[in-house]
């Protein structure tokens, strides 16, 4: 393992710096706007309550205008008898005493009675009401509260009302009852709406705060940060998206780190050996020795080449998570061909392919480009570790297709069977040290199988060595 590399520090800082600047692009809006819960609440409250009041008043106005004609007519009919009786009483007396008489009658009524000159009403009444008055009908002022009726053919007019106003002098300077009721109703509506809004907005705000904190932590390079489960339905999808984004960023950063640490570590040995060989070259004139050193350097260059190749392959599967392109293959033939293509590498070994357990002409879906990477890595390992025999077999387990690669080598201890799939992991046995490699082959195989929605696992082989199994859904 290579986790303690001194280069790891700077690689880590670089990758965190990159992520930090990525997050910062999205953050200033959050950081700058000091938006508090109370501010959000009041803005929202004013907006909603304001629109509500405006709507209610408009509706009230429209309805009362539409109703005015009806209520005026109703009031006219209701008061006609009373007015006629009052006038009959007046007509029984001479005109000069009408003023006095109306005052005596007025005391018996709960609303005001009076007499005015017709001429004074031109400005108080609308033209249509003036016409009504002149035609001998009852005229009503625009509040629907005072009634006027001409006294016979005289220039005097009987005034009845205001009907709604109280005669109690203590109450006249106070707010009218209707207005007080309205104020009370609106205050109650305002308070209830405020409470409801508060209880609705508080969880939303808390979720937003949690999101903001998470975004800030991520921006500061803490890739472990996750947003807690959202209380409000409104924010839940946002917080889920944020968390999966954080997950992905963390994974990318981990791969980036792992790769850069691993590669820089692996580069050291061949480079150090090449430097040593170069120094030796300058010091020797022996052609045989020079030849040997050239050979050494060439082998190191090959090793570097291989390292870069494998790392790029791993990075591609790990970092880019390419979309799988499935195609259906005749599985037994495909497997035999793939094994054949690498058979030369294990010349001295017995290599058998067994597809007898499979149904005839079985077709399986796989990514023709990616799957060979997985299989070849298993075979290459088997070539390195097998003593004499390698056996490749396949079976169908329900809907899943399984490929086993077995060998008769030293095997893998049970406690290491998961660990060997991590990138840059190599077991440290004398056999492992003599075979060379970077510990990337199995990591690549696992990524390829993840791409297929399947798995790559290690076990003990019936032959005595290691068994590696690739499994995925035969129909995608």
Q: Which does 426 bind (CB under 5 to 8 A by kind): Mg ion, ligand ATP, none?
A: ligand ATP
Q: Which residue number has the CB closest to Mg ion?
A: 441
CA distances from 413 to 409, 460, 463, 465, 468 (A): 12, 9, 15, 10, 13
- How many positions of this chain bind Mg ion (CB under 5 A)? 2
Query: Could you give the string, one character per residue 306-325, with x where binding to Mg ion holds by CB under 5 A and - elsewhere?
Result: --------------------
Q: Which does 410 bind (CB under 5 to 8 A by kind): Mg ion, ligand ATP, none?
A: ligand ATP
DSSP 93: S
Which residue, 207 or 407, has its beta carbon nearer to ligand ATP?
407
Neighbours of 253 (CB within 10 A): 17
Which residue, 132 or 446, has its beta carbon nearer to Mg ion?
446
Which residue, 346 or 409, has its beta carbon nearer to ligand ATP?
409
> Which residues of this chain interact with ligand ATP, rule CB under 6 A?
310, 377, 381-382, 385, 407, 409-412, 420, 425-427, 432, 437-443, 465-466
Instruction: Mention every residue, 6+ apart, whose C-beta is less than 8 A from residue 35.
Output: none
Instruction: Convert 262-280 to b/e letters by CB count within 10 Å (16 or more is b).
Output: bbbbbeeebeeebeebeee
3-state secondary structure 121-172: HCCCCCHHHHHHHHCCCCEECCCCCCEEEECCCCCEEEEECCCCCCCCHHHH
Task: Considering only residues 432 through 461, tell me which ones interact with Mg ion, judged by CB under 5 A.
Answer: 441
Smallest distance, Mg ion to C-beta of residue 389, A: 19
Which residue, 123 or 347, has its beta carbon nearer to ligand ATP?
347
Residue holding tokens 């129909």? Answer: 475
Return the residue of 355, 381, 393, 469 that touches Mg ion, per CB under 5 A. 381
Smallest distance, ligand ATP to C-beta of residue 262, A: 10
Residue holding tokens 């195609």? Answer: 327
Class of residue 184 by CB neighbours under 10 A (exposed 0-12, middle 13-18, buried 19+):
exposed
Which residue, 129 or 381, has its beta carbon nearer to ligand ATP?
381
Which residue, 255 or 381, has its beta carbon nearer to Mg ion?
381
CB 258, CB 423: distance < 8 Å? yes
Smallest distance, ligand ATP to C-beta of residue 385, A: 3
Smallest distance, ligand ATP to C-beta of residue 457, A: 12
CB 52, CB 201: distance < 8 Å? no
CB 442, CB 461: distance < 8 Å? no
Smallest distance, Mg ion to C-beta of residue 423, A: 11
Q: Which does 420 bind (CB under 5 to 8 A by kind): Mg ion, ligand ATP, none?
A: ligand ATP
């Amino acid at each position: 393992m290579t986790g303690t590399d001194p280069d790891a520090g700077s690689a880590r800082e670089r990758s965190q710096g990159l992520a930090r600047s990525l997050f910062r692009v999205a953050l200033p809006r959050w950081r700058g706007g000091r938006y508090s819960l109370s501010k959000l609440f009041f803005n929202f409250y004013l907006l909603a309550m304001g629109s509500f009041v405006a709507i209610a008043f408009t509706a009230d106005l429209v309805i009362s205008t539409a109703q005015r004609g009806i209520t005026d007519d109703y009031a006219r009919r209701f008061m006609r008898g009373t007015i006629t009786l009052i006038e009959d009483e007046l007509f029984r007396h001479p005109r000069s005493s009408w003023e006095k008489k109306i005052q005596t009658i007025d005391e018996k009524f709960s609303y005001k009675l009076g007499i005015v000159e017709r001429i004074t009403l031109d400005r108080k009444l609308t033209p249509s009401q003036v016409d009504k008055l002149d035609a001998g009908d009852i005229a009503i002022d625009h509040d629907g509260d005072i009634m006027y009726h001409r006294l016979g053919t005289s220039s005097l007019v009987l005034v009845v009302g205001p009907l709604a106003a109280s005669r109690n002098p203590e109450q006249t300077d106070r707010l009218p009852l209707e207005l007080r009721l309205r104020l009370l109703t609106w205050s109650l509506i305002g308070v209830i709406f405020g409470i409801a809004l508060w209880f609705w907005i508080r969880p939303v705000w808390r979720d937003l705060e949690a999101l903001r904190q998470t975004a800030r932590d991520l921006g500061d390079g803490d890739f472990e940060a996750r947003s807690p489960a959202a209380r409000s339905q409104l924010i839940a999808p946002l917080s889920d998206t944020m968390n999966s984004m954080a997950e992905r960023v963390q994974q990318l950063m981990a791969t980036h780190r792992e790769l850069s640490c691993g590669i820089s570590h692996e580069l050291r040995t061949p480079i150090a050996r090449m430097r040593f060989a170069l120094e030796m070259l300058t010091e020797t004139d022996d052609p045989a020795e020079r030849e040997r050193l050239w050979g050494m350097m060439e082998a190191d260059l090959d090793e570097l080449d291989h390292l870069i190749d494998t790392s790029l392959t791993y990075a591609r599967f790990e970092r880019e998570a390419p979309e799988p392109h499935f195609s259906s293959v005749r599985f037994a033939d495909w497997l035999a061909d793939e094994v054949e293509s690498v058979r030369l590498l294990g010349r001295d070994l017995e290599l058998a392919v067994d597809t007898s357990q499979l149904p005839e002409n079985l077709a399986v879906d796989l990514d023709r480009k990616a799957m060979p990477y997985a299989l070849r890595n298993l075979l290459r390992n088997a070539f390195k570790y097998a003593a004499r025999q390698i056996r490749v077999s396949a079976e169908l387990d329900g809907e899943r297709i399984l490929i086993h690669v077995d060998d008769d080598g030293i095997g893998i201890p049970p406690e290491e069977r998961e660990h060997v799939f991590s990138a840059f992991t190599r077991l440290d046995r004398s056999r492992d040290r003599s075979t060379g490699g970077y510990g990337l082959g199995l990591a690549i195989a696992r990524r390829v199988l993840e791409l297929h929605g399947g798995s790559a696992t290690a076990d003990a082989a019936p032959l005595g060595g290691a068994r590696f199994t690739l499994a995925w859904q035969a129909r995608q």
